[in-house]
Structure 1
């Protein structure tokens, strides 16, 4: 695998295609060569079988030693015009009866002669001439006589010359075909990967200022459509993240500008002339309040940053939400009585989670509800654990409703619906965002509903009864 490191996909596909096609062509060439060689062997065997049949017939007609002695003249007439054919006939007593010119047979071939033709043997002479032949024992027409030894062979010079030319032409064509298939494979790989290069060019044109660009999924093959769709989904996530980051940076700069401007203006005014000790103390106390607000904002931002990077790992323990709600309502009791708010709390439920984090999330919802409930309004806290798997803690208050288009963005950082829901010198617009982060860290979710002069926030968590 290291040999292909840094190589292009086109190179790898071309090499793979060329290797496969060359292997196929090699096997095909070997098969063709073997079939041609087998065909010549069958032709030689047919020739030899024909001559053996001729000799068998001639020997069978020789019914006496005289007729057997006259056989060579008949064979000369019968074998006229058969160039490259060698015939050897020995009488039953082992003496030579007939032999063509230059007839030469290996001793082991003659010694292994049988009464029926076997697979032909192949041998070479010292002058590098090759022959294919066989030797058999054939009966004569003389009663009681032993069979005669007959050997026939054919010269393979013509076949070998043809096979040499054939193999040279075959492997030349195979080599050119391998090169051609490699070249065609390169063209096919280039054309096949053209959509991938188009994706690369499109992706190269996408920058931080052009995250709205998308890859054209419809114009690419199905095999790459999934990749393009995944890249489009990634770009959508990046675009949303960049938009949130840009909005967050703008909101953060806006939120920090006010206290810093207040601190700078107040300090400059104070230093413009000599003040009394009490006046300096008042200015420092005012500045301390602004610094406390900045400190809370920075702490909240650090908390949200950890939440965004999944660094919040809640300490899991059993948390009685009813007890936490009761404790928090005691804290807000003075404000509730001052505004004449009718307070109602019901239900109970237990979840596994970090008690301090859950307490903070509930406190944020209660603080938001108390702040936006008008005088003589109503605030209701309910814990519903009846479904068995999901526990729902809801905080509902009367007051001016929220338009539906604002509900999905209520949990964004620094987001405010309108002037009626601006902070009154407290908070930094991060309470609901922190609540959502805490809920998600516990595997839950938070949502908001508003209609008919009533607004309800719900935290959905996994009930401890399912664990």
Structure 2
């Protein structure tokens, strides 16, 4: 199911927002107008009452009652029945106003303002003002009722409501269209960014998005994407270099196997010569197998998986065992191995031994003869540090940054490729990452330091 565009979502959001605001505003206006109309009708009722009340207070003679009745009927007729007057009394002789609306008991009305509904569908309620007055010097209590028909007022309110509905509907449509236009215009930089991204051709290095043309909100995204492109280029360059290194490392033993095999088959050989050829070929095949196994391990470690076989061990004890294993490499060059410190950590003993052995073998190869190699074991907060220092030739900074890359050697001649295929330090880095740590290398004042960190489990 296709997803709606951001422009459509923004336009709908504008419409919903406009509807809510307009509805609240319209309701407030309508309620305000209705209350104003009610107040106006109450004021008019009060005014009408103030006009007729003196007639009852000044005319206290019963002989003038017919004249008073005539005046009220004249006022009612003059208003066109919009305003009506009723005078109620227990004595039927003192009642004025004719028949009240059906189903309305005027005698039940209490003094003050009130309203009564009418059964006719096209008629609006009557608003009334009821007052009790004393006639004939207080001898005759009368209920004076002034009513006003609210139909004209409610008609004004209904007309205002219809206009509000029209304006609100028109405003919602207008804001929706305007919001869509604004959102489309606001999305132009994203379209520009998309066009630039589509123009990036594969295989061409140095391509970047032009962040200067984008607004501030998208500039960070473009710069982040450019960073991805830069890292991708670096990864591709490393991959190309890696492929070349793999091809070189495997080509040499393959060429040796093929050459020796062709030479052995060029003429009849004695069994001893054939055995020597097979032994040499086996040595080359074992070297190739070692490279393949190391590559498989690095590929597994690159997936980000952590070692499942963690054991709480003393790193000093494991370092001593590893030192015994690598002792021949140090003895041949009269190098003394010293181990300082101890850390209790949860590690994969096999991987820890392998990585430390690679560091020790590397130090033994490059340390000056008749010196010492120092292994420092320490911890800082939640990291354990394994550092191997030796006394050797200064390593340039450009090499230090790449020592832990696959097949990278400071010596480009690959003079030691027969015994070292350039994956030892890469394995150290992979083991460190599998234990939540990282690698480091420094070189200054004739001291070269290589090591890795391990995350301490809590």
Range of TM-score over shorter length? 0.7 to 0.9
Please name the residue that 2:399 is paired with.
Answer: 406
Please name the residue that 1:382 is paired with.
Answer: 375
Report the Cα distance in structure 2 between the residues aligned to 1:459 and 1:113, rounded to whole angstroms: 96
Please name the residue that 1:89 is paired with.
Answer: 87
Please name the residue that 2:37 is paired with.
Answer: 40
**Does structure 2 retain, via aligned residues, the 8 Å contact 1:112–1:135?**
no
Report the Cα distance in structure 2 between the residues aligned to 1:170 and 1:321, rounded to whole angstroms: 81
For the pair 1:55 / 2:52, whether they are aligned, the reply is yes
Please name the residue that 1:121 is paired with.
Answer: 116
Report which stretch shifted further, 360-369 or 287-296. 360-369
Query: Offset at 1:256?
Result: 1.7
Q: 5 Å matches for 1:156-235?
A: 156-206=150-200, 208-209=202-203, 213-215=207-209, 231-235=225-229
Query: Offset at 1:69?
Result: 2.4
Q: 5 Å matches for 1:375-454?
A: 376-385=369-378, 392-419=385-412, 422-423=415-416, 425-454=418-447
Report the Cα distance in structure 2 between the residues aligned to 1:292 and 1:69, rounded to whole angstroms: 136
Please name the residue that 2:271 is paired with.
Answer: 277
Please name the residue that 2:448 is paired with.
Answer: 455
Residue by residue, what CA displacement relative to the aligned partner does 1:111-149 show, whole Å, maximum 9, x if unpaired? 2244x33223342548x4445242634425412422233
SS in 2 for 1:147: strand
Query: Offset at 1:432?
Result: 1.0
Please name the residue that 2:262 is paired with.
Answer: 268
SS in 2 for 1:418: coil
Q: Which ranges in structure 2 are unaligned for 5 or more consecutive residues? A: none
Query: Offset at 1:345?
Result: 1.9
The counterpart of 1:252, out of the listed 246, 264, 271, is 246
Please name the residue that 1:30 is paired with.
Answer: 27
SS in 1 for 2:147: strand
Q: Which ranges in structure 1 are unaligned for 5 or more consecutive residues? A: none
Q: What CA RMSD, in Å, does the superposition of the two structures yield over aligned residues?
A: 3.5
Report which stretch shifted further, 385-394 or 434-443. 385-394
Residue by residue, what CA displacement relative to the aligned partner does 1:143-201 show, whole Å, maximum 9, x if unpaired? 24222333333344433443443333221121111111222222233334444444444
Query: Offset at 1:431?
Result: 0.7
SS in 2 for 1:70: helix
Judging changes above 3 Å, is the alpha-carbon distance between structure 1 residues 447 and 44 closer, same or farther for their aligned structure 2 residues?
closer
**Does structure 2 retain, via aligned residues, the 8 Å contact 1:59–1:138?**
no
Judging changes above 3 Å, is the alpha-carbon distance between structure 1 residues 312 and 267 closer, same or farther for their aligned structure 2 residues?
farther
The counterpart of 1:294, out of the listed 277, 288, 291, is 288
**Does structure 2 retain, via aligned residues, the 8 Å contact 1:63–1:143?**
yes
TM-score if structure 2 supplies the norm length? 0.85
Query: Offset at 1:12?
Result: 2.6
Report the Cα distance in structure 2 between the residues aligned to 1:119 and 1:156, rounded to whole angstroms: 12
Judging changes above 3 Å, is the alpha-carbon distance between structure 1 residues 109 and 426 closer, same or farther for their aligned structure 2 residues?
same
SS in 1 for 2:114: coil
Report the Cα distance in structure 2 between the residues aligned to 1:389 and 1:42, rounded to whole angstroms: 77
**Does structure 2 retain, via aligned residues, the 8 Å contact 1:14–1:182?**
yes
Judging changes above 3 Å, is the alpha-carbon distance between structure 1 residues 111 and 444 closer, same or farther for their aligned structure 2 residues?
same
Query: Offset at 1:234?
Result: 4.4
SS in 2 for 1:268: helix
Residue by residue, what CA displacement relative to the aligned partner does 1:425-466 show, whole Å, maximum 9, x if unpaired? 112110111122223323343322223444332344468xx9
Report the Cα distance in structure 1 between the residues aligned to 2:90 and 2:384, rounded to whole angstroms: 113
TM-score if structure 1 supplies the norm length? 0.83
Aligned residues: 456
Report the Cα distance in structure 1 between the residues aligned to 2:206 and 2:124, rounded to whole angstroms: 80
Query: Offset at 1:354?
Result: 2.2
Please name the residue that 2:349 is paired with.
Answer: 355
Judging changes above 3 Å, is the alpha-carbon distance between structure 1 residues 267 and 136 closer, same or farther for their aligned structure 2 residues?
same
Judging changes above 3 Å, is the alpha-carbon distance between structure 1 residues 405 and 149 closer, same or farther for their aligned structure 2 residues?
same
Query: Offset at 1:227?
Result: 5.1
